[in-house]
Structure 1
Amino acid sequence: MNYTLNQLKIFLKVVQTESVTKASEELYLTQPAVSIQLKNFQDQFDIPLTEVVGRKIYITDFGKEIAEAAENIINQVHAINYKTLAYKGRLTGKLKISVVSTGKYVMPYFLSEFMKEHTGVELNMDVTNKYQVLESLENNTVDFALVSILPTTQNIEKLDLLQNKLYLVGSSNLDIKKRSSTKEIFENLPLIFREKGSGTRQTMEKFFADNNISVLKRMELSSNEAVKQSLLAGLGYSIMPLIGIKNELQNKELQIIPIKELPIKTTWSLIWLKGKKQTLVSAAYLEFLKKETSNIVNSKFMWSELY
């Protein structure tokens, strides 16, 4: 046996995702690189670890046992690394954050310098929909959550990070005729919605209700990226967070359609359960944000003031 720690990590990720493609995405590797390392690892065993039926990969019972052993080995390696750094007086441990899907355009900028400064901290950031984010917070499985709409049923504390602005957006190739009223615009334009449970959708629906606007519902999509690609293809229009369409606006692929009632303004906030006992890592991260948030906003997000 001559397998490497990297091969153990790759095999474990393939088992967890049941997909070479998904494993490569989560490991930030190319699919061929994952396939090669998976094959090299499996070749060291006389008993198959996986089997492919059609296009789907299945894990054998023996493979599941090896995956469990691999996970134990990887955890022990992490423990050794943590102990070594802790002995040197370095900050070590895990930082667990759950982020609503559009927040993926925001959160990395508020993590980058902290992670560079504290190399012994392991980041676990889950990007999902609002309901699951709040569920993970309620179950106390994360340190923090990033949301643009504060929950009303949970007792929380918060730290505001960045203003969130939402505009009506469509393809630059579409000719938008000026109409006499906001109601006419929304009654005639085909709109694309996010899925139920999305914070963006909740914001859109509140806007329509507050302004007594009827809309022609055209399509429902489950991610901000899917909505953006549909807009680029000219399938319709949507109210979208400015933060997720920076490049498309600058490249003049998408256009903001002027509506006097827009933008809708909310706030990106980092939240946590009130009274939660912070770990050394999460407490250090909060202190970092309290000192650096304004600097991060000024250096990374001033472009949004142009809109």
Structure 2
Amino acid sequence: MDKRKAWPKFITKNSLMAYGLILPSLLVFAVFMFYPLLYTIYLSFFDWNMIKPVKTFVGWGNYIALLQDPLTYKVMTNTLAYIVILLMLNCAAPYALAFILSFVIKRRQGFYKSAFFLPSVISLVVGSILYLWILNPISGPVAIIAKALGISVPIWSKTQGLVIVVLSIITTWKVFGYNFIVIYGGVAGVPSEVIEAARIDNVPLHRIFFDIVLPMSSATGVYIFIMTIVQGLQYVFTPIKVITQGGPDNASSNAIYNVYQEAFTLYHTGYASAFAVVTMALFVVLLIAEFKYVEKGVYYEN
């Protein structure tokens, strides 16, 4: 019997070489992603504080306690509000700005692109401290201008509701530049002859944006939509840690910061692991829904 026939058809010399080349990356993912993920799921079924030598198995106890805790719903509401504000500031605003610079303003585009992208290379810790000074209700520039106009500035870090808005603005300062450059590339890739034909027919600019530019750059838009959520939840930890520490009364805490708080401040490791698993499951469901319903309407050239 020919030995070559004993191998499955999908195992060839080229496929073995491909598997060999991808193996180092898979090992890195296994060590730094898959193992921590599986270990987090494992810890979610135990009562442990990272100090005791013995872990106490509690089954679904951590998940039941999580669902019965009112703080869970407050934190998730904060997270949802933060994401909605972030999407408006980092998806809708960069899209409109990229359209204006591509088809309305033709001069000094390099300056505008550099100015908008610059904050994305600056440390978010520096940005958080900078905004803490700018928005200082007593001696900050905003307070001085408001005082001259006869307006009082609230202590935003101690005000329910307002604190989420300001944290979203701080994160936007970091994320906006990258999103703008990527969206600008997608918008600039829309065929100019289509835009010119619409202008000859006297199509209003807002119809050109919604009916031509937005659909034809939707692939870039979906990418930015996902990255805004991922980067936003990643970056917001820094201003919360530097400025508010989750206050006032957990009004600025979100799912990511609450997991850190439970695990490394209160040492509720099992509970924090359960919270992390639930958060991950929710975002996986949202991602699946996005691919199922949003991805169908995406335009891919050719």
The answer to whether TM tops 0.5 is no
Instruction: For CA contacts below 8 A with separation 6 or more, give which structure has more relative contact order.
Output: 2
More helix by share: 2
State the TM-score, normalizing by the size of structure 1: 0.23
State the TM-score, normalizing by the size of structure 2: 0.24
